[in-house]
Amino acid sequence: MNPQQHINIPKILQTLRETRPIIHHITNYVTVNDCANVTLAIGAAPVMAHAKEEVSEMTSISSALVLNIGTLDPAQIESMLIAGKTANEKNIPIILDPCGAGATTFRTETAKKLIEQLNITIIRGNAGEIATLAELEAEVHGVETGKIQNTPEQIAQTLAEKTGSTIIITGKEDIIADKTTTYKLRNGSPMTGKITGGGCMTASITASFASIEKDPVIAGIAALTCFGIAQQLAEKISRGPMEYHINLFDELYNLTPEKIKDHQNYEKIR
């Protein structure tokens, strides 16, 4: 990390924990419990409301909104649009997780519809999902990335330019880009790929930071750094995926300024 690019992540985390913002999720039922628990572990307060009759009201009292298309149905899409429009009216940041975009036409078109009709602050996905939305060649198998023709940096930059959103691509190395800036992050553990919900939890943590940090690039760096360091620490003390799953929440909850300073690993590449 170049010292000139230093971001005071411990201070941002401290502010988050002191503020305890409400993070509204309309998310998929496979990982909803993990998303709630990871939001609590980082220091925010999760709420999960999906009925169209209440999503606008719930969004209004929240500090960020997560939209995750992992288990889509038409009613959920309607609720996402209602909640998203309320968030835009009140300048509440929206984090979109286009889970599985590229796997089916329904998912892809839904993600594009949300991007077209809402002002999305941050879009977080894997390389295949983001490439699909950027209309670059990519293969997506379920929620996993297949072959892609461009680098993650190129993919993120392309979608950022198309949408005006900040783009996060998670993978072996994470990429964060907006129209003018790109960062590469190198924290994390491959063990996260052995449990469900790694990407969904990343979106929840990102929303938590975006709720109190106005610059979405900085919010993304802080979120992915904290989550990535917790992953590394959890891996060291885990014998397998289920033990890792439990330890991941504990390490995130017990994250300290010293642990962040010792392990943070990001650099500006554009």
Tens digits of residue pLDDT in 126-139? 999 999 999 987 66
Q: What pLDDT shows up at residue 148?
A: 74
3-state secondary structure the chain: CCHHHCCCHHHHHHHHHHHCCEEEEECCCCCHHHHHHHHHHHCCEEEECCCCCCHHHHHHCCCEEEEECCCCCHHHHHHHHHHHHHHHHCCCCEEEECCCECCEHHHHHHHHHHHHHCCCCEEEECHHHHHHHCCCCEEEECCEEEEECCCHHHHHHHHHHHHCCEEEECCCCEEEECCCCEEEECCCCHHHHHCCCHHHHHHHHHHHHHCCCCCHHHHHHHHHHHHHHHHHHHHHCCCCHHHHHHHHHHHHHCCCHHHHHHHCCEEECC
Q: Cα 60 to chain center, whole Å?
A: 21
Alpha-carbon span 5 to 217, nearest angstrom: 12
Label residue 141 by pLDDT band (50, 70, 90). Answer: low
Alpha-carbon span 132 to 125, nearest angstrom: 10
Label residue 150 by pLDDT band (50, 70, 90). Answer: confident
Residue in the structure block whose two tokens are 């980082």: 42
Alpha-carbon span 91 to 44, nearest angstrom: 19
Q: Has residue 254 got a pLDDT over 60? A: yes
Q: Do 97 and 73 meet the contact criterion of CB atoms below 8 Å apart?
A: no
Label residue 6 by pLDDT band (50, 70, 90). Answer: confident
Whether the model clears a pTM of 0.85, i.e. scores above it, the answer is yes
Q: What pLDDT shows up at residue 146?
A: 53
Q: What pLDDT shows up at residue 2?
A: 43
Per-residue pLDDT tens over the stretch 77-109 = 999 999 999 999 999 999 999 999 988 999 999
Label residue 3 by pLDDT band (50, 70, 90). Answer: very low
Label residue 1 by pLDDT band (50, 70, 90). Answer: very low
Domains and CATH numbers, the chain: 19-229 (3.40.1190.20)
Q: Do 128 and 156 meet the contact criterion of CB atoms below 8 Å apart?
A: no
Chain-wide mean pLDDT for the chain? 94
Name, in order, each residue with C-beta under 8 angstroms of 76's C-beta and a sequence gap of 6 or more. Answer: 26, 50
Q: Do 16 and 42 meet the contact criterion of CB atoms below 8 Å apart?
A: yes
Q: What pLDDT shows up at residue 208?
A: 98
Q: Has residue 144 got a pLDDT over 90? A: no
Per-residue pLDDT tens over the stretch 105-125 = 999 999 999 999 999 999 999
Which two tokens mark 71?
């288990």
Label residue 4 by pLDDT band (50, 70, 90). Answer: very low
Q: Has residue 142 got a pLDDT over 60? A: no
Per-residue pLDDT tens over the stretch 196-211 = 999 999 999 999 999 9
Alpha-carbon span 12 to 138, nearest angstrom: 35
Which two tokens mark 49?
């409301």
Q: Phi, psi at residue 212, to the nearest 5°?
A: -120, -10
Angle at 156 between CA 153 and CA 157, to 5 degrees: 85
Determine the average pLDDT of the residues in 67-78: 96
Per-residue pLDDT tens over the stretch 216-237 = 999 999 999 999 999 999 999 9
Q: What percent of the chain has pLDDT over 90?
A: 91
Q: What pLDDT shows up at residue 255?
A: 98
Taken as a whole, the chain contains a residue count of 270
